[in-house]
Amino acid sequence: MKAAVVTVGDEILIGQIVDTNSAYIAKAFDKIGIGVYEMLSISDERQHILQTLAFLQNRVDVVVITGGLGPTKDDVTKTTLCEYFDDHLVRNEAVEAHVVELIEKALKRTASQINKDQALVPSKAKVLHNAFGTAPGMWLKRGDTIFISLPGVPYEMKGLIDNEVVPRLVAEFERPYIIHKTIMTYGQGESIVAERIAEWENNLPEHIKLAYLPSPGKVRLRLSTRGTDEAFLRNGIEVEAAKLNDIIGDIIVGFDEDETMEVVLGRLLAQKGKTLAAAESCTGGKIAQMITSVPGSSAYFMGSAVTYATDSKVNILKVEQQLIDVFSVVSAKVAESMAVNAKKLYKSDYAVSTTGNAGPAKGDAAAEVGTVYIGIATPNGVTSHKFELGQPREKVVARAAEKALELIYQEILKN
């Protein structure tokens, strides 16, 4: 089964908002064996919508259209659907009652005519109940294709996908299995990883696809397959993942895409009953933010001294001014002092520190833009590492934070 996702709205085409609906729908469909063939974002114009519906009809089995269902004049999806399906609007009493109740309850006023007109739907449409808003979902069919129209407000769309669309598709259609497994690797670039696994990749079975998803400091390898025999598919994926583990086990840190370095690190700390602190200059709180994005991180993360200004390194972290004067604020010595002092101040077992120049302009130090020192304090002592992380600013910060987590993870593994 193939689907297409269409988002309607000029706000997307001028870049005013990022479309997150399509990814949500794709993920939900992937889980039930429906592959998304294409995603399109188009304007709120009648002609553009008509063209797109015609283009997709018979090309895919299901089209989900989000947006353009509001009560205002710029919302034209509903009338355009009537045109495409050679239909007219009729009042749905159940929807009108829901609209009146929703407005009274949430806004403590009576529904206006504009509100009530949300209950007008094409006569040929099956209505899908929108528990969280006034615009109902609609389910129509033309040719071999089902067209599903949903409101664009993310939490309304999500409710409709989860509670109405997915259950109906599951009940109505036989679908294949789509199975993915993502292998997370750290520390080597995409091209090196590709070289190491080239022979294995060349011998992958026809029905298993490999994708590389590189990002600063890490590469995710995604194995995908689809078919009707679930056990066969799952087994095939597991066999290949095991082979991969034999080849590049040294850089594999996990087998799930939800397993980010902060999750893996957090689990290791929790297992060992150890605590961590940080002292951040150029990463500006990014390390703390990554670690605390994991629920339950308060059990092992004490905190981070973000000392952005040079003076703060002296005031808060008690780095000796002389060290800064002699070695510069971007130096191995200062990184090490920051880590050691953070460990002491936070009374943690481990601490990690960053000091560097994220750019675009040079800061208080002579170091090149992109130069970052990472300090690692452990119960056994302190070390530091120097990196040249290039540009621009956001890349330097992201890579420095990733590197810091990776280094401290490896250090804790050893102990």
Site string for a copy of itself, 294-313 (x = CB under 8 A): -xxxx--xxxxxxxxx-xx-
Question: Which one, 28 or 169, has the nearer CB to a copy of itself?
Answer: 28
Q: Cα(315)–Cα(313) distance, rounded to whole angstroms?
A: 6
Least separation in angstroms between residue 189's CB and a copy of itself is 6
- Residues sharing a CB contact under 8 Å with residue 176, sequence separation 6 or more, in sequence order: 1, 33, 226, 227, 228
286 binds a copy of itself (CB under 8 A): yes
- Interface residue with a copy of itself, options 11, 238, 320, 411 (CB under 8 A): 11
Long-range own/partner contacts, residues 48-55 (CB < 8 A, 24 or more apart): 49/8, 49/76, 49/77, 49/80, 49/84, 50/80, 50/83, 50/84, 52/6, 53/84, 53/147, 54/84
- Interface residue with a copy of itself, options 237, 278, 335, 382 (CB under 8 A): 278
Least separation in angstroms between residue 4's CB and a copy of itself is 10
Sheet architecture: strand order including 371-378: 276-280, 350-356, 371-378, 381-388
Question: Which one, 126 or 196, has the nearer CB to a copy of itself?
Answer: 196
Q: Which range in 78-86, 169-177, 245-253, 353-361 contacts a copy of itself by CB under 8 A?
A: 353-361
Least separation in angstroms between residue 249's CB and a copy of itself is 20
- Interface residue with a copy of itself, options 255, 267, 345, 383 (CB under 8 A): 345
Least separation in angstroms between residue 186's CB and a copy of itself is 14
| Pairing status of strand 252-254 against strand 276-280 | unpaired
Q: Cα(27)–Cα(175) distance, rounded to whole angstroms?
A: 15
DSSP 181: E
Question: Which one, 129 or 141, has the nearer CB to a copy of itself?
Answer: 129
- Interface residue with a copy of itself, options 288, 334, 335, 382 (CB under 8 A): 288
Question: Which one, 158 or 274, has the nearer CB to a copy of itself?
Answer: 158
180 binds a copy of itself (CB under 8 A): yes
Least separation in angstroms between residue 269's CB and a copy of itself is 12
- Site residues for a copy of itself, window 72-111 (CB under 8 A)? 72-75, 102, 105-107
Least separation in angstroms between residue 29's CB and a copy of itself is 8
**CA proximity to 35, closest of 8, 59, 1, 7:** 1
Sheet architecture: strand order including 177-186: 209-215, 218-227, 177-186, 252-254
Q: Cα(115)–Cα(136) distance, rounded to whole angstroms?
A: 12
Q: Cα(75)–Cα(63) distance, rounded to whole angstroms?
A: 19
18 binds a copy of itself (CB under 8 A): yes
- Residues sharing a CB contact under 8 Å with residue 88, sequence separation 6 or more, in sequence order: 82, 122, 123
Least separation in angstroms between residue 176's CB and a copy of itself is 14
Q: How many residues at the interface with a copy of itself, by CB under 8 A?
A: 117
- Site residues for a copy of itself, window 197-256 (CB under 8 A)? 201, 209-215, 222, 224
- Site residues for a copy of itself, window 120-179 (CB under 8 A)? 131-132, 153, 155, 158-159, 178
- Site residues for a copy of itself, window 386-415 (CB under 8 A)? 388-395, 397
3-class state of residue 231 by DSSP: helix
17 binds a copy of itself (CB under 8 A): yes
DSSP 274: -
- Interface residue with a copy of itself, options 101, 195, 230, 256 (CB under 8 A): 195
- Site residues for a copy of itself, window 357-376 (CB under 8 A)? 359-361, 363-364
- Residues sharing a CB contact under 8 Å with residue 144, sequence separation 6 or more, in sequence order: 57, 58, 61
